[in-house]
Every structure is written in structure tokens, then in C-alpha cells.
Amino acid sequence: MAEIAERRRKRIRWGRISRQILIYVLVIVVLVYIIAPFLWLTISALMPRTELLNFPPHWIPEGLTTDNFKHLFIEPPPEKVYRFHIQITKKPEEYIHGLKNSVITAFSVTILALFFGSLGAYSLARIRWPGKHLYILALIAMRMIPGIGTVIPSYIIFARLHLIDTLLLLVILETAYLLPFSMFILYGVFQAIPVEIEDAALIDGCSRLQTMYRIIWPLATPGLVAAGTFGFLGSWNSFFTPLIFTHMRAKTFPVMIAELVTMWDADYTAVAATGVFASILPVVLALLFQRYIVQGLTTGAVKG
Amino acid sequence: MAKAGTRQLGMRGALASLRDRLFQGYNMRDVRFGWLLVLPVTLWFGALIVYPLLYAFRTSFTNLHILYPDTTRYVALENYWEILSADDYFRISMRNTFIYAFISVALEMVISLGIALLLNESFKGRGIVRSLLLLPWAIPSVVNAMMWKWILHPDFGALNGIFYELGLIGIDNRINFVASAPRAIGICILASVWKAAPFSTLILLAGLQTVPLELYDAAKVDGCGVWGRFRNVTLPYLRPSLLIALVLGTQGGILIFDIIYIMTGGGPGGATEMIAYFIYLQGFQALRMGYACALSYMLGIVITIIAAIYFKLLYTEELM
């Protein structure tokens, strides 16, 4: 009897161990799937051009260099890439200009969306007014509207106002497209804060506005961080809107990256370097605020 | 009685009684403050989303061409008639979009559900793996497309390199991934699934956390196997998250633009010309703005129908 029980226990233990091994193997597969493509782009960005264009690829590069990044921002690369007599290699001034535009836009959009979004979201979460449910439904509907549908008429309207290719237009447009989403996240965040705290403050003689910035905003910090990160990433990564509404002066960094490729080929050293560079900020922000993001994502998404 | 009363008081009285009924039980000071707070965003939406949409609706009945604004005239339903009866490219791009969206959303669901179930198990370093899921989501979509274009490069690409190292291809017959229609659609799916699946995984993981663990034990006692437990315990609780991941994934799939713009440019021979890219070409390359507006309204109708189907299929009471 004891022997059978012992054998059985062993089998269960072996089952558990092999299950654990299977889990680790699968996790490694998932990790490789997620990391390997971007890792390869990073390695490519650190390779000299002569080594980059090789087959089979040098999986482990012989010479690592930061020249590709230097050639983006400090000095122009020695050799320029042409396609059909059109130079697709860009000068450092152009990259710096694009980067400046991207930074200005992303920061302005984040601040505007957070400020006006939290005002609106507070009203939706806390104050009773007729038509509120309809408003929330309209907000959900607005999130479903395809960008291409609003972009074409907006282009006609703002071309008449001579606002195409200005940062001002880019900022107000990106904010408008992001606001429904950030309002929704903040709406969920404000709803999760207990009303009692606020009522106590109101009874103590605080005005509505005072309770908002003394009580609600401090308590909602994680949510505000999440919504802010979404806003920043949304604007920094945005491609379609700046592609349509900017041509020269207000051109953003992602649009410049897209210009490094023609239908047939591309300047791949610059592609890899700009790609890695443009990803640093969003990836760092995402990893830094990951807890808030996942929280905000789930409250925002599950409610939507 | 109330009806007779309003008739006697006339128009102004009717409005007043309507207002009273509307605001019954509301604190007027609060209402005014609440409206004041949503006023800025409402103006913003009104000016930049609602007004353009109405403008597009009007434009969709004209032949507005951005280079010849003087010849603009009202053409009634001509644009819509052309889309439905004469435009082969519309039909092709719609078909391409459906093929692409169906396959990529299906793959996305299978992959993200698999990863979510795996990451719901306990193992060392689970937190790190979960946060790494944010990597594909965080990188710009332009960079994603460029990265895959480089990995799939016909001469120097890493995927050809891996095939070569595995002995699957020789050095002289490297694969040109954009040369044939199925392959070109395949690489677009590959690139978009890589970016979108980790995001759905996060949504599904959040859904998995709502499953009460006692139910698994109860199901085990009732003699449910692994599949039975998944079907009867996990799936019902996962439904809301699945619906959200599905809706977001489908929306992203139907509106795919960046990847097409960068990786294939609609080629080869229109095989990867998807609807958003087609509308973009009509509006900003052919400059037929009126026609493009009509096209985007057709797209809006399609999206609404799909959303309605999803909600009909998956909507349950506990969702909202």
C-alpha cells in the first residue's frame, strides 16, 4: 500500500516539475518573440554600414559603433544614399528640427488633454446634470470614428484658414483626437475615488473647485500619470495626422523616419538609428509607469 | 390637464414646463458648474470632430477636387453610386481589408489568449515578462513597420538569414516577401500582430484576474478537465475583456494604414491596398476630396455594422 502511494506521489511530483519546465520553455519562446525583432533593430543601429549590408547577417557584429546616431544629430554621414537621383539622406539640422517639433507637440498635447480632460471627466464622474448619459455615449462613439473620416474635411477647412503645416494646428488636432480616450480613462479613475472623502471636504466649506485640486487630483495621481503617458505616447507615436497636416515647418520625427524609405529601398542605417532613437522615450515611459498604465488601460478599456 | 395647461400658456410656457421637467431633481448650481466643466472639451469636439464630419457629409455630395475648386458642384448621389457600381478598386480594397483584418484579428486573439493564459501561471520573473509586453505597444507604429521592412529585406533581411542558417534556402534563392500577393499580405499581418497582440494580452490578463480561484477547485471537484475548466470557468469571466480586445483589434485591423504606407505601398499590384490607404490615395494623391468623403462614410457604415454584430453576439448584462 505504502509503496503504491509513494510511487503515486512521485508521479505527481514529476508531473508538477515537467509542467513547470514546460511553462519556462513557453515563456522563453514568448520572450524571444517579443524582444528579438526590436533587439535586431538595435543591433543593426549599432553596426557600421559596411557590416549592415551583408548576407548572411552578422548576428553578432564585429564592430560596434555609435556613428549612426552621431550622423543623425551631430555631423552628416560621409556617404549619402540616393534613389533615382533624389537624396534620401537627411541633414542633422532636419532631424533636430523634426525632433523639436515632436517634443513640443507631445508635451503640449499631453498637458492640454490632461487639463481639459480631467475637468470634463470630473464633471462626468461626480456632478449630476441632465444629458450626461447621452454625453458618455457620444464619447464612446467618438472613439470609434475612423481618423481618415475627419482628416479629409479638416484638411479642406484648415487649408482655407491657412493653418496647414503649423504646430498650432497639429497640437489642437492631436488633442482633439486623444481627448475622448483620456477623458474615458480619467472618468474611470475619478469614479474609483470614494465620494465620502469629497463630501467631507465640501461640508468643511471647500468649494467644488477647491475639492477638485486639493482632494481629487492628488488622489487621482496614478490615473493622471496613466492618462498622461497615453497622451504623450499617442502624440509622440502619431503618424497619420502629421503626415497629412505637416509638410515642412511642422514636420515631426515619425514622418521623417517614413521619408527614409521609398517604395523600393531605404537608407537602412538611418532607419535603424532613427527607429531606435524614436522608441527610447516611449519605451522608457511605458516601462517606468507600467503599473499605472495597465491599471488605466483596464479601467479605461473595460468600461469602454 | 397638464397638456391643456401648456396649450393655454403658449410657446414660452411649454418651454418653461419642459425645462422644469428636464431639471426636476437637479441642483441648478451643480448643473451649471457641470456644464461649465465639459464646455471646453465639448467645443473642442464640436469644432474638430463633429463639424468636420458634417462638413464631410455635405462634401460627399459634391465633386470637390482640390485643384479645381471652381468647378465644384452638387452631384447628389453620384459619388455613392460610383463607389457601389463602378469602382473596382473600392471592391478590391474592401476585400483585401476583410481578408487581412479577419486573419490578423484571429491570430491576435489566439496568440494573446495563449500568452495571457501562460502568464497567468506562476513562475519566477513573471512581473518582468508582463512589463515587457508593453514594449511592442510602446514603440511608434512607423518604427514597427520600418523594423519589419528591414527584417524582411529581400537581400539582407534577418528572416532570410534565419532561413539560410536553418538550411531552408540557399544563398541564391532568398525570398522576396513583397513579390507575391499572399506573402505581402502575410508580412503585413506579421508586423501588425506583433505590435497588437501584446496589448490584447494585457487586456485579457486583467480579465483573467477577475476569475475567482475557488471556482477552479469547485470545477475540479465536479470532474472538469483542463478544457472543461477553461470553457466553464475562464471563458465566461473573460467575455468582457475578449469583447474589448476583439473590438479594438478589429477596428485597428480595418483602419490599417501605417504598415501599408511603409511596407508595401499597396503592392504588389494592389494586393495589399486596404480601405484606409485607398481613401487616403483618393483624397490626397488623386485629390478627389468629395469622392474620398463619400468613401469614408461608406467605411463608417461598415464599421458600425461590424460593431453592432459584435455587441449582439457578445454583449451580456454584466458588461456595462
pLDDT tens digits for range A55-83 = 888 888 888 888 889 888 888 777 777 66
Percent of chain B with pLDDT over 70: 95
Q: Do A116 and B151 touch (CB under 8 A)?
A: no
Instruction: Give the pLDDT confidence score for residue A68 in this predicted structure.
Output: 87
Could you tell me the pLDDT band of residue A33, with boundaries at 50, 70 and 90?
A: very high
Q: What is the pLDDT of residues B150-161, one digit of tens each?
A: 999 888 889 999
* Burial label, B116 (beta-carbon count in 10 A; 0-12, 13-18, 19+): buried
Interface test with B, best of A127, A154, A208 (most B CBs within 10 A): A127
Q: Which residues contact A71 (CB under 8 A, 6 or more apart)?
A: A77, A92, A269, A270, A273
Chain B positions in Cβ-Cβ contact with residue A283 (cut-off 8 Å): 134-135, 138-139
B161–A271 CB contact, under 8 Å: no
Terminal-to-terminal C-alpha distance of chain B: 39
- Residue B201's closest CA among B268, B254, B136, B156? B136
Beta strands in chain A (DSSP E): 82-83, 86-87
Q: Determine the residue of chain B that is closest to A51 in CA distance.
A: B156
- Which of these ranges, A99-113, A267-281, B210-224, has the smallest mean pLDDT? B210-224
Q: Which pLDDT band, with edges at 50, 70 and 90, does A302 fall under?
A: very low
Contact call for A271 and B52, based on CB within 8 A: no
The pLDDT value given to residue A74: 84
At A1, is the pLDDT very low, low, confident or very high (cuts 50, 70, 90)?
A: low
As for the ipTM of the complex, it is: 0.89
Are the beta carbons of A208 and B161 separated by less than 8 Å? no
A-B contacts at Cβ under 8 angstroms: 279
* Per-residue confidence (pLDDT) for residue A67, from 0 to 100: 86
Question: Is the CB of B198 less than 8 angstroms away from the CB of A34?
Answer: yes
- Looking at the complex, report in whole angstroms how far the Cα of residue A105 sits from the nearest Cα belonging to chain B: 15
Q: What is the pLDDT of residues A145-181, one digit of tens each?
A: 888 889 999 999 999 899 999 999 999 999 999 998 8
pLDDT of B173 over the 90 cut = no
Residue B56: its chain A contacts at CB < 8 A? 149-150, 152-153
Which of A27, A142, A152, A284 is the best mutation test for B, with the most CBs of B within 10 A? A152
Chain B residues whose CB is inside 8 A of the A285 CB are: 138
**Length of chain B (residues):** 320
Amino acid at B44: W
B49 with A183: Cβ contact below 8 A: no
CB contact under 8 A, B59 and A286: no
At what angle are helices A268-288 and B141-151 packed, to 10 degrees? 130
Q: Contact A245/A158 with Cβ under 8 angstroms?
A: yes
Q: Compute the distance between CA of residue A176 and CA of residue A180 in angstroms, rounded to an integer.
A: 8
Nearest residue in A to B145, CA atom:
A258
Looking at residue B318, its pLDDT comes to: 46
pTM of the model: 0.89
Residue that has been written with the C-alpha cell 470614428 in this structure: A145
Chain A partners within 8 Å of B147 (Cβ): 37-38, 40-41, 275
A149 and B297: CB-CB below 8 Å?
Answer: yes
B37/A122 Cβ within 8 A: yes
Taking CB atoms and an 8 Å limit, are B115 and A275 in contact across chains? no
Which of A52-66, A286-300, B123-137 reaches the highest mean pLDDT? B123-137
How many Å apart are CA B320 and CA B310, to the nearest integer? Answer: 15
- Min CA distance, B320 vs chain A (Å)? 7
Amino acid at B225: G
Q: Which residues of B touch A105 (CB under 8 A)?
A: none
Determine whether A14 is exposed, middle or buried from the number of CB atoms within 10 Å of its CB (0-12, 13-18, 19+): exposed
Say how far apart CA B109 and CA B119 lie, in whole Å.
Answer: 15
